[in-house]
Amino acid sequence: MQTAADIVAEFAARHWVAVAGADLGPAARVPTMLTPEEQLLYHWLGRRVKGDGAVVDLGAYAGGSAARLLSGLALSGRACHVHSYDRFRTSRALWARYMPSEPLPDADDADLLPLVQRHLAPWADRVTLHVGDIGAQRWTAGPIEVLSVDAAKGSAMADHIAAEFFPALVPGRSILVQQDYLMSVQPWLCAQMVRLRDCFVPLAHVPKVGLVFLTVAPVTHAALIAAKVGELTDGKLMSRVREAAAWHEGMVQRAPFKTMLDQIKAHPGVRLGWQMRQARARG
């Protein structure tokens, strides 16, 4: 059995960058917002899974992250099932950008579900699509091997996701991917994780903005209360971002944390990523 130190060393070697593109099979053609390195990471994470619990994909869009996890799982010899969560709705602009060869819908808020079902058809027997607001979803399906978070676009949602899904992560084994971790308009992610530093060890920064963590202790109710970010004042949020910058010294440069602090200062009280981004665009 691998120790935490073994797993830290394994991720430090960044084995996913050596994955052959051909290994992804049909997954390579599923539209995705993931960077090329993230795509290889997701496949590799599926392939290296160590238990038979669930793999959870929070924020699936067109199914790109799920497809890459599934292509890896298909080679893993494990029975893990993927649970993908999203509203499965999209704007026309995103549709045109990520699915340019598909007929453009007439209006925004277009239904993505039929397309996602088609994209994930090669693995239909091992994926479940959970349609709707993740804020209304509960997790009761047992241990989670890999949890990918790409939907904590506001501080309240970050608290909800942590409360529902983090307690199912298995110490010494489960991997958490915080997809947007270093995004300047989502500073609550590092503010949350730094207060969970007894439960998670950072494993890798995967460009552009993702961080991968190993679960090392159970995420208890008390830990979740201490890590809450929904009600933080701007001052407390900034102080947690500074703590996170120190925590990640040696793995992540200071610049992304500095940009987060600038964003908080420029947008007092704003706790939704799209609002910070809009305000920035106007400014």
Ligand X SMILES: C[S@@+](CC[C@H](N)C(=O)[O-])C[C@H]1O[C@@H](n2cnc3c(N)ncnc32)[C@H](O)[C@@H]1O
Q: Does 145 bind ligand X (CB under 6 A)?
A: no
Stretch of residues binding ligand X (CB under 6 A), selected from 119-127, 147-155, 225-233, 260-268: 147-155
Q: Binding mask 153-192 vs ligand X (x if CB under 6 A, - otherwise)? A: x---x-----------------------------------
160 Cβ partners below 8 Å, 6+ apart?
A: 134, 135
The enclosing H or E element of 95 equals helix 92-98
How far is residue 209's CA from residue 59's CA, in Å, rounded to a whole number? 16
How far is residue 78's CA from residue 7's CA, in Å, rounded to a whole number? 19
Select from 45, 60, 70, 224 the one that contacts ligand X (CB under 6 A). Answer: 60
- The answer for 266, left when phi > 0, alpha when psi is -120 to 50, beta otherwise, is alpha
Select from 46, 53, 59, 187 the one that contacts ligand X (CB under 6 A). Answer: 59
Stretch of residues binding ligand X (CB under 6 A), selected from 30-38, 113-121, 182-190, 269-277: 30-38
Q: In the window 209-238, what residues touch ligand X (CB under 6 A)?
A: none
Select from 41, 65, 190, 204 the one that contacts ligand X (CB under 6 A). Answer: 65
How far is residue 25's CA from residue 228's CA, in Å, rounded to a whole number? 40
Full 3-state SS string of 154-182: EHHHHHHHHHHHHHHECCCCCEEEECCCC
Stretch of residues binding ligand X (CB under 6 A), selected from 61-69, 102-110, 250-258, 271-279: 61-69
Burial of 156 (0-12, 13-18, 19+ CB in 10 A): middle
Q: How many residues bind ligand X (CB under 6 A)?
A: 17
Nearest approach, Cβ of residue 30 and ligand X (Å): 8
Select from 19, 24, 27, 34 the one that contacts ligand X (CB under 6 A). Answer: 34
Write out the residues near ligand X by the rule CB under 6 A.
32-34, 59-61, 64-65, 86-87, 133-135, 150-151, 153, 157
